[in-house]
Structure 1
Amino acid sequence: MNIQNSEKFYAQAQNFMPGGVNSPVRACRAVGRAPLFIDHAKGSKIYDVDGNEYIDYICSWGPNILGHANERVINAVTETCQRGLTFGACHSGEIELAKLIKKHFPSMEMLRLVNSGTEAVMSAIRAARGYTKRDKIVKFEGCYHGHSDGLLVKSGSGLLTNSIPDSAGVPKGYTDNTLLAKYNNKESVEKLFEEHGDDIACVIVEPCAANMGVVPPQEGFLRFLRDITLKYNSLLIFDEVITGFRLSIGGAQKYYNVKPDLTTLGKIVGGGMPLAVYGGKKEVMQCVAPLGSVYQAGTLSGNPVAVSAGIETLKILEENEAEIYTRLEKISLQLENAMQESGMNVNRVGSIMTVFFTNEKVKDYDTAKTADTARFAEYFRHMQDNGIYTAPSQFEAMFVSFAHTDEDIDKTINAIKSLE
């Protein structure tokens, strides 16, 4: 497959941006390829600057649950753009989006719109600390919650892909109050609470991990986290930046029937535009300025263009909930079955999945790291050469969209089966 123009653009980009990219995983260093430079996308397909067509299973890392350039979403954004890109002021769309979110995430009694998942998580943790008047937080190895200083400790996503255990530039003091537990390991959490329980403001977790590859919670794990945080008067934060509106219209908390104190949302909630949300119990959110002393602000927060994309996307999901989520489950299961029949080790929850090249059952950070990344790189290149666009990292998720057709699924299955 000819990608000469992408290679030329990449060579130019390295003169202007670190590694030639604006987000590390895009550099494709772990899979031995130059990154594709994308020209346009529609439905389930994405097209590079060399004119190659690919079936897209990155879906912009999750938000494109309806596929690319959905006509209703594009029309809503275009209409909004005609009235102005940003006001730095209040507008009624913020209320409409907040109502839609709260309807499907009733645990979010009050919420705040922000611009990125990193910002949402950073703000939620600050609110938890302000509310509890405690400093320490518990996070899990392999769970990625954005690149704020206090959370870059054994994170997943690009840090794991590029073998960076922590980040340079983060003073030790920023992580002194970050306690590390093992995902799906109750004992590791119990030990931290026994030692630091009175000082722990919150536990933050991806309710279904998706940044060390997809790793679902074991039976009872999320309920255990709910119980132990209640016991010690700490808050439970679900980072649903990826799982929100994807595992179900009510996210992972509806899917697993566990209610957190605070939730962060991103990806789908912005309909493809930069937008994220944090929110939860009213008494916690009332600690946030201007009502309380926890400060957080943003000039572009709740900007009308992103809000309009989010509103229209959530309306489509709401109006077609049964059809969309039933379809996503069906075609995702078909892909999982094909991978398993080909001897691959697959973790899947709903429309997100990861194939791991390891004989270990992947249930946590340690077992995820047993994956053969060289073998994954071969798989990635094979799929790309067969017109299938997947994440260039063993430790990222594969996303299925409602726009994927039966023909797309059949072509993908054939590519999987032809892998030697």
Structure 2
Amino acid sequence: MVNTSIKTTKSEEIFAAAQKLMPGGVSSPVRAFKSVGGQPIVFDRVEGAYIWDVDGNKYIDYVGTWGPAICGHAHPEVIAALHAALEKGTSFGAPSVLENVLAEMVIDAVPSIEMVRFVNSGTEACMAVLRLMRAFTGRDKIIKFEGCYHGHADMFLVKAGSGVATLGLPDSPGVPKSATSNTLTAPYNDLETVKALFEENPDEIAGVILEPVVGNAGFISPDAGFLEGLREITRDRGALLVFDEVMTGFRIAYGGAQERFGITPDLTTLGKIIGGGLPVGAYGGRKDIMSMIAPAGPVYQAGTLSGNPLAMTAGIKTLELLQKPGTYEALDRITKKLADGMLQVAKETGHAACGGQISGMFGFFFTEGPVHNYEDAKKADLIKFSRFYRGMLERGIYLAPSQFEAGFTSLAHTDADVEQTLAAAREVLMSVTSYQLPVTSD
């Protein structure tokens, strides 16, 4: 029997205080556990595949700070590099050679990128790339996919996934219709709707942006021919294809989804892993497009902390670690064992479930499936997921607190971690109907 005697008194006290200081008590919505009930645990420290909360409880972590911790939390080589960088200062607000080093690594790795601009977050990267798409094509409209999340900028909060889906928000108050009037949407994996939108808006669509593997509506893979079809459609109609690889970049392959699937977009956004756990984002692509960015061209975009020496240092060391032979084979093996095991446990305990994995990214839904898009994902049993989530947390397993989020493994996860996780899942799913959904504090 797995120990379920975890006490979270300090977490509860800290979160109660936080709710008086910050909206909802958090700095980002999904952290508040609104869709799974109860209160979030408050972290104290992380190392490898594990986290410890302020009450001293240890958990196996499958969130990995939402993706960046691909080498494991607080990797000693990354920490050592950061210590050395700290002695030189925390911010320059001026060029440093570290930007050149990381830029060369990104350009060498990602097929579409000939030039890159560093920013501070994935949201910022997507905002900038949208402006660039419009400037380069002279067109205003874009196509995004339902359930794909590209940050919280106004123009992207149309049928977005992730926290918007988790909280059940219709999009967001405060977003004027004028901000989203040029944003067209289509179901993911639906080429016919994309073609129809181009027919209905001739010479008006600047481009198509998408998560090549969806992680913000849960884990959803592209159907065979979908990415290839988008590449053909956009090329034929003079529009740009943009892969938002903030999640998938350097995670499902060293060169991201575009390397994995052999499809080269015109522009790419990156984040998470290239900062090694520090705040970072980037966008890049063809030289003729990127040369429009100021000061080389007329499209303005700037940032005081862009290219921060600490973020560059952590990113460089992380990418160096990922270049070691066997890295992605190891990620794929451990993640497949986890994902396949979870589906098998669900089947054996009588629960409908579907899901899968690619390299170090995975997910599952409590529904028969298959799940091809956000509408399919919404058929999942959210009450069952919330009960499953609480049961796993009580057994020391930390999953993303939303059915609509992908999970992540790291090079630090072991077979023993996976076996412990599957044993906990079996226990929970054998008794999940006896769980009561905890009441979320106001």
TM-score (norm 1): 0.98
* SS of 1:198 mapped into structure 2: coil
The secondary structure found in structure 1 opposite 2:313 is: helix
CA contact (8 A) 1:110 1:280 kept: yes
Decide which of 327, 330, 344 is 2:330's aligned counterpart.
327
Please identify, of 294-303 and 330-339, the stretch whose mean Cα deviation from structure 2 is larger: 330-339
Q: Give the equivalent residue in structure 2 for 1:46.
A: 51
Note the C-alpha offset of 1:398: 1.0
| Structure 1 residue 360 displacement after superposition | 2.5
1:312 aligns with 2:305: no
Deviation track 1:112-142 (CA, whole Å, cap 9, x = no partner) reads 0000000001101111111111100000000
Aligned AA (2:396):
G
**More divergent stretch after superposition (383-392 vs 345-354):** 345-354
| Corresponding residue for residue 227 of structure 1 | 232
Match of 1:14 among 6, 19, 22: 19
How far 1:339 moved relative to its partner?
1.4
* Equivalent-residue separation in structure 1 for 2:422 and 2:377 (angstroms): 24
**Would you say 1:414 and 2:423 are equivalent positions?**
yes
* Residues 234-313 of structure 1: pairs in structure 2 closer than 5 A: 234-313=239-318
CA distance in 1, matches of 2:41, 2:309: 31
**Equivalent residue, structure 1, for 2:124:** 119
Q: Any gaps of 5 or more consecutive residues in structure 2?
A: 1-5, 348-352, 431-442
2:406 aligned partner, one-letter code: A
- What does residue range 19-418 of structure 1 map to in structure 2 within 5 Å? 19-318=24-323, 320=324, 322-342=325-345, 343=347, 344-418=353-427
Whichever residue aligns with residue 64 of structure 2, its letter is: C
Cα deviation 1:314-368 (Å, max 9, x = unaligned): 01111x1x32211111111111221121223223222211120112311101100
Letter in 2 for 1:80: A
Residues 193-225 of structure 1 show CA distances to partners (whole Å, capped at 9, x for unaligned) of: 111130110100100011000100000000000
Deviation at 1:243, TM superposition (A): 0.1
Cα deviation per residue 1:168-217 (whole Å; 9 max; x = unaligned)? Answer: 11111000000111100011101001111301101001000110001000
Structure 1 segments of 4 or more deviating over 4 A?
Answer: none
Distance in 1 separating the partners of 2:24 and 2:196: 41
Contact 2:45–2:51 (CA<8 Å) still a contact in 1?
Answer: yes
Distance across 2 between alignment mates of 1:347 and 1:324: 20
SS state of the match for residue 113, structure 2? coil
Q: Tell me, what secondary structure is at the counterpart of 2:202?
A: helix
Q: Match of 1:363, as an amino acid?
A: H
Give, in angstroms, the shift of residue 269 of structure 1. Answer: 0.6
Aligned letter for 1:157?
Answer: S
Instruction: Give CA deviations for 1:88-108 in whole Å, capped at 9, x if unaligned.
Output: 000000000000000101311
Whole-angstrom distance in 2 between the partners of 1:87 and 1:221: 43
Name structure 1 gaps, 5 residues minimum: none
Equivalent residue letter for 2:21? F
1:197 aligned counterpart, secondary structure? coil
Number of aligned positions between the proteins: 418
Task: Identify the residue that residue 437 of structure 2 maps to in structure 1.
Answer: none
User: Would you say the 8 A contact 1:338–1:417 is kept in 2?
Assistant: no
Root-mean-square deviation over aligned CA pairs: 0.8
- 8 Å Cα contact 2:146/2:186 also seen in 1: yes
State the AA in 2 paired with 1:335: L
Q: In structure 1, what is the equivalent of residue 350 of structure 2?
A: none
After alignment, is 94-103 or 344-353 more displaced?
Answer: 344-353
In 2, Cα distance between equivalents of 1:100 and 1:285: 17
Give the 3-state SS of the residue equivalent to 1:236 in structure 2: strand
**What whole-Å deviation, never above 9, does each CA across 1:231-272 have from its counterpart, x for those lacking one?**
011000000000000000010000010000000000101000
Letter in 1 for 2:383: A
Q: Secondary structure at the match of 1:40?
A: strand
Q: d(CA) in 2 for partners of 1:99 and 1:72?
A: 20
Provide the C-alpha distance between the structure 2 equivalents of 1:71 and 1:224, rounded to a whole number of angstroms. Answer: 43
Amino acid in structure 1 at the alignment position of 2:155: G
- Is the partner of 1:29 in helix, strand or coil? coil
How far off is 1:385 after superposition?
1.0
Query: Identity percentage over the alignment?
Result: 50
Alpha carbons 2:329, 2:359 under 8 Å: kept: no
Counterpart residue type for residue 206 of structure 1? E
- The question of whether the paired residues in 1 share the 8 Å contact of 2:111 and 2:259 is answered with no
* 8 Å contact kept, 1:96–1:311: yes
What is the TM-score normalised by the length of structure 2?
0.94
* Inter-partner Cα distance in structure 1 for 2:111 and 2:329: 23
- For the 8 Å contact 1:241–1:264, the answer to whether it is kept is yes
SS of alignment partner, residue 75 of structure 1: helix
Mapped partners of 2:29, 2:316: distance in 1? 30
SS in 2 for 1:102: helix
| CA distances 1:253-302 after superposition (whole Å, capped 9, x unpaired) | 00010000000000101000001110001010111111111100000000
CA separation in 1, counterparts of 2:111 and 2:328? 20
